[in-house]
Amino acid sequence: MPGITGRTRLLGIVGDPIAQVGSPQACNPRIAAAGADAVLLPFHVPEAEFEVAMAGLMRLGNLDGLLVTIPFKQRVLDLADTVRPVAALVGAANALRREADGRWTADMFDGVGLLRALAGLGVSPEGASVLLLGAGGAGRAIGVSLARAGAARIGIHDLDRARGEALAARVREAAPGCAGAAAEPVARGYDIVINATPVGMRPGDGLAAPLGPLAGVAAVIDIVPKPPMTPLLAAAAEAGCRIAGGQVMIEGQAEAVLEFFGLPPGRG
């Protein structure tokens, strides 16, 4: 990576916690390979200080954009001047870009990363049945993207059943041919299982839900970026499923995010 100078443009990723994020590892080698004088840095923004911290960050003259991770993907929409269509449909965003006139634009890329992770496993969402755990910001982006990519059925499990049912309605709105519905967390009968909750990130975490046998599931993706082998992925590997973790998803969306920030997506 080139040396940081006073001319270096800054990008950041904000979250609480922040130690688990993989975006700096995914994006900075690409930024360096493209020869851009920019760097992506992690910013730990405590949840109680979100509005105050973001107001300060967004006033920095050399900050061009922010990535947003848990638990801020919904709250960040209130800070944007413009919300692009996918983020509006999802009701959450994971990227903010400063425009030339100083206004901020929000968009959502979690679904892009998930679809590319599936492609890397050789699994197509078209015609597939999907069990999605979690209907938060990432879960909504993933559900909408899978529906738009041709999934036939998406069962959604969230501890807040009303939130799961709300996502099911968004899925049907995004693709009327996709059967979206709240579902019990049982893996049997699904082609793809996705954990879009933070469960698995902390030491001692188990599974996000009692899924039952995973044999017969083609692919299991856990969006938790660290550890690389979560309890869910370990169980899926033992059952013979194709697996991908959160870092793979982050790698999948890195190029799209850098393009959104106006940077050439150099290969890391």
Instruction: Answer yes or no: are the C-beta atoms of 197 and 133 closer than 8 Å.
Output: yes
Which residue from 21, 76, 22, 13 is spatially nearest to 45, judged by alpha carbons? 13
CB-based burial label for 56 (10 Å; 0-12, 13-18, 19+)? exposed
Q: Concatenated DSSP letters for 172-191?
A: HHH-TTSEEEE--S--TT-S
The answer to whether 226 is a known catalytic residue is: no
Out of 73, 140, 153, 170, pick the active-site residue: 73
Alpha helices of 106-187 — where are they, by DSSP H? 110-120, 137-148, 161-174
CB-based burial label for 120 (10 Å; 0-12, 13-18, 19+)? middle
- Active site amino acids: 73
